[in-house]
């Protein structure tokens, strides 16, 4: 674990970001930039240290490099996700689609290729944090079939069973539930769910929806809850009463 602890637990208003990257110079530069943008920052430089920091410091978001000594970023995420929904933004090698897809499959909320522009990193962090905290709406509780979603406290139940989703998965499902029975385009899901336009070769939406489909399982009728409309988007099915 890095000895340069930058979290100030007395200041609850500032979001805490953990940077996990073995490039100490880069970590220092990014930490300085993030702090200038109003974040509290801690750095770790290997996989085990990063995982320990997440457990001990409870950051609001983790920026996690894939290539780490001791334990890869993917293995850190693999160990983290069974009992934590802490938002994770993965740093991937530019053009490495395999690591990007695996990271999303394991529950990463978003990714950014390295080397990254600090301003874009800040924009991505703020977008993920907005999704993870949510906001009160005119209709905080939505019910579709046996799913009950509460946007005020960011909880989801299937019948009486609570379900754990990542912040991005929760936001995607909320969009689909608010438009249940109609097709939601990938462009809309990207704009509203990820906070950015849909990239030409971006498969993030497909991966997040694949994770959602797996976690939700079949509907009460035994069929898929989510329909894929090829070339357009996705639709949450509404069962006839």
CB count within 10 Å of CB 122 equals 18
To the nearest 10°, the Cα dihedral for 154, 157, 179, 189? 50
Alpha-carbon distance of 21 to 227, in angstroms, equals 38
Q: What is the pLDDT of residue 55?
A: 93
- Domains with residue ranges and CATH for the chain: 16-133 (3.40.50.2300), 141-236 (1.10.10.10)
SS3 for the chain is: CCCCCCCCCCCCCCCEEEEECCCHHHHHHHHHHHHHCCCEEEEECCHHHHHHHHHHHCCCEEEEECCCCCCCHHHHHHHHHHHCCCCEEEEEECCCHHHHHHHHHCCCCEEEEECCCHHHHHHHHHHHHHHHHCCCCCCCEEEECCEEEECCCCEEEECCEECCCCHHHHHHHHHHHHCCCCCEEHHHHHHHHHCCCCCCCCCHHHHHHHHHHHHHCCCCCCCCCEEEECCCEEEECCCCC
**pLDDT tens digits for range 55-75:** 999 999 999 999 999 999 999
Closest by CA position to 143, among listed 170, 180, 192, 185: 180
Closest CA to 20 of 75, 94, 84: 75
Ordered per-residue pLDDT tens for the chain, 241 residues: 444 444 444 444 589 999 999 999 999 999 999 999 999 999 999 999 999 999 999 999 999 999 999 999 999 999 999 989 899 999 988 767 888 889 999 999 999 998 889 999 999 999 899 887 765 455 789 999 999 999 888 899 999 999 999 999 999 999 999 999 999 999 999 999 898 888 888 889 999 999 999 999 998 888 889 999 988 999 999 986 6
pLDDT at 43: 96
Residue 68 and residue 114 in contact, taking contact as beta carbons nearer than 8 Å: no
Contact between residue 76 and residue 51 where contact means Cβ atoms under 8 Å apart = yes
Residue-wise pLDDT for 203-219, tens only, equals 899 999 999 999 999 98
């Amino acid at each position: 674990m890095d000895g340069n602890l930058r979290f100030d637990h007395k200041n609850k208003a500032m979001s805490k970001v953990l940077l996990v990257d073995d490039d100490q110079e880069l970590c220092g530069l990014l930490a300085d930039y993030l702090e200038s943008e109003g974040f509290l920052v801690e750095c770790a430089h290997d996989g085990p240290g990063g995982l320990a920091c997440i457990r001990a410091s409870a950051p609001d978001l983790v920026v996690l490099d894939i290539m780490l000594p001791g334990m890869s970023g993917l293995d850190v995420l693999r160990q983290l996700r069974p009992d934590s929904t802490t938002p994770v933004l993965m740093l991937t090698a530019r053009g490495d689609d395999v690591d990007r897809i695996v990271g999303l499959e394991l529950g990463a909320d978003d990714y950014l290729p390295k080397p990254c522009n600090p301003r874009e990193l800040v924009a991505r962090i703020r977008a993920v944090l907005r999704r993870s905290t949510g906001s009160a709406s005119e209709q905080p509780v939505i019910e579709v079939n046996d799913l009950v979603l509460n946007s005020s406290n960011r909880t989801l139940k299937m019948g009486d069973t609570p379900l754990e989703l990542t912040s991005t998965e929760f936001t995607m499902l909320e969009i689909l539930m608010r438009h249940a029975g109609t097709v939601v385009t990938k462009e809309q899901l990207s704009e509203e769910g990820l906070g950015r336009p849909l990239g030409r070769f971006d498969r993030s939406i497909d991966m997040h929806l694949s994770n959602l489909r797996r976690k939700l399982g079949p509907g009460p009728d035994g069929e898929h809850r989510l329909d894929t409309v090829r070339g357009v988007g996705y639709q949450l099915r509404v069962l006839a009463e």
